[in-house]
Amino acid sequence: MTRLPYAIGEVRGSDAAGVYEVERRCFPDPYPPALLEDLMRTQRDRFFVASNAGEVVGYAVATTTGRDGHIVSVAVDPDHRRQGIGTRLLSATIRRLIEDGVGQIHLEVRKSNGTAIAFYERMGFRIRSEIKRYYSDGEDAWVLVRSTERAPTTVDEGG
């Protein structure tokens, strides 16, 4: 497999259309552009994009409340998966949350998304609880939690 060059950096205003395109290609119920733009504005230092030749191919964004971090979304365009982009995006986000003094990070994931669950578990997350009918189509979610006591994993480039 040929690895394409890509860069990880903080989101810029010019990334909005690319972020939404990745969102649309990754999720059956994508966040609306206005929500993504609000996150780009309010969480800019916790919103990372992966780009290849100027094209946004993935993103990750988190929020904080006190010492609790929340991974809002991690998405990698289907045509660019299995190149370590997701791992690098989530690692950058976790590092930023650690810098922000967060003690614990949580996220929600569809119970049917075994690939994402395995990815998050490789990154140190563990299933903590369940939320019934979390998604708009009625599917349940797992809540996964990770302590920030150890640094994020970047060795596994499979994400």
How do residues 102-137 score in pLDDT, each as one tens digit?
999 999 999 999 999 999 999 999 999 999 999 989
Helix, strand, coil percentages for the chain (3-state, nearest 5): 35, 30, 35
Q: What is the CATH number of the domain that holds 142?
A: 3.40.630.30
pTM exceeds 0.85 for this model:
yes
Does residue 154 lie within any of the structural domains?
no
Match 């998405």 to its residue by tokens: 75
CA torsion sign for 39, 77, 85, 146 is positive
User: What average pLDDT does the segment 5-33 reach?
Assistant: 93
In a domain, 153, yes or no: no
Task: Give the domain range for residue 12.
Answer: 7-147
Give CA angle at 23 (68, 116), nearest 5°.
Answer: 60
